[in-house]
Amino acid sequence: MHHTFQSLITPPEGFDGQPGLWFCVGRNTILVSPTEEGLWPIEAVHPRDLGIEVGHEHFLGFLDGKPCWAAGLDDVINEIGEYRPETLFSLFPNVDEELWTLAGRAVQIAEWHRTNRFCGRCGTPTVESAGERARKCPECGLLAFPRLSPAVITLIERGDEALLGRGRTFGANPMYSTLAGFVEPGETIEEAVAREVREEVGVEVTDIRYMRSQPWPFPNSLMLGFNAKWASGDIEIDPVEIVDAQWFKADNLPNIPGKMSIARWLIDEWLSRQS
């Protein structure tokens, strides 16, 4: 099912008391209930009607005409009636992409509020800034917006091969993926691609092309997907970040990421061109 989402910061004038979708967030989990179509957030005028204590709430906009809210809970969520806590990872297979992305938005906004209750410059309690998604210090005027950390993720081609690496963050999972890293201050995203590839596997790339992006709420990244061509160099891994990296052909791929990630989309796009 395709959903239509309209992003807003404040409800329309005169809007009040209409049942909506509530993404109740506590410690990176969301309260949902099972339906015939999959898992679904709380649908109510307000969670307090269900006995759920909300610490702070944030209007997100409208999903298919229904108002949507992020509600931050100050404690760990336990099961409440038919509602149970799910992480964004466990939620993904049970909802469509638009709803999952909106859930990720709710988690990030609730966490942003929780971690910006005091000014980072002078320590004064912050207040909402009218007309924008920001926390403002009433003492020194510092604004704190929801944090986004841009990261580049790149599939590198050499002839009919793709370079995939196994990162140390994968733990015991023998999974190989595209190479990724955060953009540094003062750096273009194309420079970030070339630097990350050079640092992680020691090769030089050319023909760096932007492909697509994906919000990635773990915890607050925006993944910028690229395709690049190998230019020179042999694989020399950075052992701090990479366990192994190899060139793979389409008919001999290792274990790769699941469908929820842009890494898999980049690999699938490359595979579609190999035939």
pLDDT digits over 260-270, tens only? 999 999 999 99
pLDDT digits over 159-205, tens only? 999 999 999 988 777 899 999 999 999 999 999 999 999 999 999 99
Give the tokens for residue 92.
């993904």
Are the C-beta atoms of residues 267 and 226 closer than 8 Å to each other? Answer: no
Task: Say what the pLDDT of residue 79 is.
Answer: 83
Separation CA 226–CA 151 (nearest Å): 11
How many residues are given for the chain?
A: 275
Task: Say what the pLDDT of residue 174 is.
Answer: 87
Q: How much is the pTM?
A: 0.90
pLDDT digits over 72-102, tens only? 997 767 788 889 999 999 999 889 889 999 9
pLDDT digits over 25-78, tens only? 987 789 999 988 789 999 999 999 988 889 999 999 999 999 999 999 977 677
Residues 212-231: what's their mean pLDDT?
96
Domains of the chain with CATH codes: 5-114 (3.90.79), 149-272 (3.90.79.10)
